[in-house]
Structure 1
């Protein structure tokens, strides 16, 4: 499990950061999510399992503080990265003409998420102590008051589980109703159905990610709320075995996302094939190679424009960079045009009075284009 989580998430980060076509707003949040999952699997999973199994702390006071501090940090960063993706999908689909986050703004949001994660987890570091007894050494959280532990656990559950899941539930419900029950605002082009299918795939993938996370971490949060409410629970005969089962279920969430991406997204699947191309049974096709090729357009541009000139039988097409297409002209003839901007993206307006042109805007970003 640890190996799958660590190497799977490292490959996800490599796929996004090493290929310009994958460097989009949503995918930057996926990098943050992958980093938190890989870090938690590498630094906490095995150590926590050894400690829970032997009930003996072997790793010193400094790592004791880190061991109690980092999981809350990583969980917070993970779920708020998913929340940011949900909001990004909401803005892209429900309000497609509004400005989207730039790459710089996205990095600022990710940095803010991690800062808040450190702040929320700091009490775990502050109150961690090593307790040496005649029989064993323990790594403990020693709270200054009887009610502080319960208060903190409630805050953690609210801010690291309930609130972000509520936000994601609302946004994905609205997005789902829009995608499956109505029309996307601004999308009436010939490529409407193709884009609709692509956006549905991405929303399905992210819903699977969120539901998996929620299921894996629910018993974990319930366990700590119950033990904070009634300390006698910690003295139950099989409480150690119960905790280990709950802990492994929670930690297993770190390995599922790379598997989900690979199964449900063709570009990530192509990236995983490239990463494992040294395996004799992995074949990388020319199509897989093209999936990750960058286009010549700036990946932050967010809209596509179809300008069809009927009088001159010419067509100029500017696709979203993530769509994997390049601009092309059919029956090249001069079309007089001028630049204007919408939603931070360039579009061309025909100024030839004899030319009958059609303009259609279709915002498209991230892994949703088009897998």
Structure 2
């Protein structure tokens, strides 16, 4: 067993946390199973869960992209952003969930040091694109319904610009650990990789990187989402109050309110555990914690590849109608009619 001085460990060895946590080990996660961290049943259960995420996430996001390619009516500015998020989710599913399934089944980081860096970078990049896409969707809804810019029209070229912007923002968050500001190392049960928020006092400046992630990749998009959706709800409630006699307007207001609550909760479920845990580690150096708990934020963030499409795509009646048609299921025409009526009612809510 080595000492707890971080400088004693070479860069290719896992240096997670001080010895006081009782989790440090001389068994490299790149070489041997980490059975000292959990039972085989735990590793295999997480492996099965990651496989489910991979299959479900790949299927639903591929279907989203295929529907948009096949049905021209889906190629609206909002759906461009949804497809952008589907591409990011597909990236995480294939480059994040599947490698984790393989590593959990092997009970260690069987991909090696380079594979760890690639998996960590890919999962971070795709996750950040998805996160910023949620903020762009909220911003787009605010512009279209609340009309703060008057007669400004959010067009497809605007959507494409913001899609490109999400990848730039994501790259600014995912690239630094690959070039020396923080780094990608095994996390939790040592079967997935992410930015280093364990170590302190090293040349990698991990604390500053964690704070950068918190402010730029959580606080900013979350503030945008809360502001835009709160303004949207205020506008809808004002219109519903002015049209109290219209049952359809009241119904549209209730449906949008329910969807906004679900969207915000989905965002928090996906990214709050990771944010909270990273901040707790940075501000409580030397405190004892169970490494199994460190796996939970990673699992929650990767599960967004499934529930984000459910919230933003499958709850979109137009998307759902086209998916049913593509899969040869009935009910598409009826839902198309319902969608048209719903869109009409919501458009009436916004100020002229």
TM-score by length of 1: 0.64
Q: Which residue in 1 is equivalent to 2:301?
A: 250
1:260 paired with 2:311, answer: yes
- Give the conservation status (yes or no) of the 8 Å contact 1:172–1:203: no
Change (3 A) 1:59 1:291: farther
Per mean C-alpha deviation after superposition, the further-off stretch among 201-210 and 216-225 is: 201-210
- Give the conservation status (yes or no) of the 8 Å contact 2:120–2:184: no
Query: Following superposition of structure 1 onto structure 2, how do residues 1-371 of structure 1 map, counting pairs within 5 Å?
Result: 1-48=53-100, 50-51=102-103, 56-95=108-147, 97-127=150-180, 128=183, 145=202, 148-182=205-239, 194=248, 197-198=251-252, 201-202=255-256, 204-233=258-287, 236=289, 238-239=290-291, 241-261=292-312, 264-277=315-328, 283-285=329-331, 287=333, 323=340, 364=347
Partner SS, residue 286 of structure 2: helix
Q: Which runs of 5+ in 2 are unaligned?
A: 1-52
* Bigger Rg, structure 1 or 2: 1
- Give the conservation status (yes or no) of the 8 Å contact 2:325–2:332: no
- Give the conservation status (yes or no) of the 8 Å contact 2:97–2:302: yes
Q: Which runs of 5+ in 1 are unaligned?
A: 278-282, 293-321, 325-360
- Give the conservation status (yes or no) of the 8 Å contact 1:262–1:272: no
- Give the conservation status (yes or no) of the 8 Å contact 1:77–1:114: yes
Partner SS, residue 39 of structure 1: helix
Change (3 A) 1:199 1:88: farther
CA positional deviation for 1:217: 1.9
Change (3 A) 1:68 1:206: same
CA positional deviation for 1:65: 2.3
Change (3 A) 1:129 1:203: closer
Partners of 1:35 and 1:67 in 2: CA distance: 16
- Give the conservation status (yes or no) of the 8 Å contact 1:4–1:255: yes
Partners of 2:90 and 2:323 in 1: CA distance: 16
- Give the conservation status (yes or no) of the 8 Å contact 2:270–2:300: yes
Partners of 2:324 and 2:193 in 1: CA distance: 42
Which digits, 9 at most, give the CA deviation of each residue in 1:9-65, with x for residues without a partner? 221222233222121111111111121122112211232355467563222444322
Change (3 A) 1:2 1:167: same
Partners of 2:278 and 2:315 in 1: CA distance: 34
- Give the conservation status (yes or no) of the 8 Å contact 2:210–2:279: yes
CA positional deviation for 1:250: 2.3
Q: Which residue in 2 is equivalent to 1:313?
A: none
Change (3 A) 1:199 1:34: farther
Change (3 A) 1:222 1:90: same
Change (3 A) 1:181 1:44: same
Task: Please state which structure has a larger fraction of its residues in strand.
Answer: 1
Partners of 2:295 and 2:204 in 1: CA distance: 26
CA positional deviation for 1:179: 0.5
- Give the conservation status (yes or no) of the 8 Å contact 1:26–1:88: yes
Q: How many residues align?
A: 286
CA positional deviation for 1:139: 6.9
Partners of 2:123 and 2:237 in 1: CA distance: 37
Task: Please state which structure has a larger fraction of its residues in helix.
Answer: 2
Partners of 1:114 and 1:175 in 2: CA distance: 26
